[in-house]
Structure 1
Amino acid sequence: MKWYLTAAMMGLLVTGQAYAGDDLDVTMRMVLDDQDLTKSVVREIQLPEPPAAERAAPEARDKAGAGLESAEDAREQGRAFGQEMADQARESANVNRDVPDKPDVPAAKPERPERPELPAAVDEIRDKLPEVAKPGN
């Protein structure tokens, strides 16, 4: 019972603090420069100017040049690798041509051996089987 009361008191304290918090709901409305500001506008927030594109351009060009060089190197390495693999495939195909063919398969199939004679005990057991279970049915 003590545990229940303690939990209930803690729950009331936490919910009380949550309801006592400040109301931070804000409604924002974008206003263009040529529109008149009304009394409903409380504060105007000035946004910083975006960084100039000219300042970043030389650094970006240098990095782009390095990226183009590495891409060209990768392309050349890929071509060389592809050419090497193609050469190996050609060599492998030529080696396989030199392998002698498989021996000829005989035209006629070998004769099938005859069944051996079963002992008499097997015949007796077969005779005792029901018709459904007898071989050949």
Structure 2
Amino acid sequence: MRWYVPVAMLVALLASEAHAREDLDVTMRMVLDERTLTESVVREIELPEPASVERPDQARESREAPGMDMARDAREQGREFGQEMADKVRESAGEKPDRPELPEHVQDVRDNLPEAAKPRN
């Protein structure tokens, strides 16, 4: 008996969702001017005029967003930094750094290792 109430609520919820979805079934048909309209309901949607008839480049230049200068500077600095790093990498690509010497106590431990455990250099 206790399960009856939650099940009934769940069924009611699902039924209301299914009923709401049926309202979304809409058919749209394009009516050309030459054709006569039928007795069905027809609604005409008028589109607004474009906000700007200028070319996009001109519109962009005329109303630049605040901070565009800062963005351009940051982009240029990023390019310069990237170019510097790429140049450094190209220069150092052929160089192999010297291997540092091991501390003396590590060398002593290596010398005392059994033959099977000694590193092969």
Structure 1 length-normalised TM: 0.40
Give the number of the structure with larger relative contact order, counting CA–CA contacts within 8 Å between residues 6 or more apart. 2
Structure 2 length-normalised TM: 0.43
Q: Is the helix fraction higher in 1 or 2?
A: 1
Larger Rg: 1
